[in-house]
């Protein structure tokens, strides 16, 4: 419908201390996101392993709910 515009850039920090603090906060956010993504990858790998084991045993369909 309407075009998606990128969010405005955050204002530039006023001092070196402000910039340092902003970068440290951003780094923490990225580290948290990275940990979440790594956990998701681990979960997907575990499910892949389960499905492969099921296929090797001849089970073509996963168990029902």
Mean pLDDT for the chain overall: 86
* Mean pLDDT along residues 36-52: 97
* Mean pLDDT along residues 27-36: 95
Which residues have a Cβ under 8 Å from the Cβ of 13 and sit 6 or more positions away?
Answer: 19, 21, 22
The pLDDT of residue 24 is: 96
The pLDDT of residue 13 is: 58
Q: What is the pTM of this model?
A: 0.59
Q: What is the C-alpha separation between 45 and 48, in angstroms, rounded? A: 5
* Mean pLDDT along residues 11-38: 90
23: pLDDT strictly greater than 90: yes
DSSP per-residue codes, 1-60: -PPPPPPPPPPPPSSHHHHHHHHHHHHHHHHHHHHHHHHHHHHHHHHHHHHHHHHHTT--
């Amino acid at each position: 419908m309407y075009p998606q515009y990128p969010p405005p850039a955050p204002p530039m920090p006023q001092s070196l201390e402000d910039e340092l603090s902003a970068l440290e906060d951003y780094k923490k956010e990225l580290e948290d996101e990275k940990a979440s993504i790594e956990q998701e990858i681990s979960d997907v790998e575990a499910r892949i392993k389960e499905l492969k084991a099921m296929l090797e045993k001849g089970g073509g369909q996963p168990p029902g709910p």
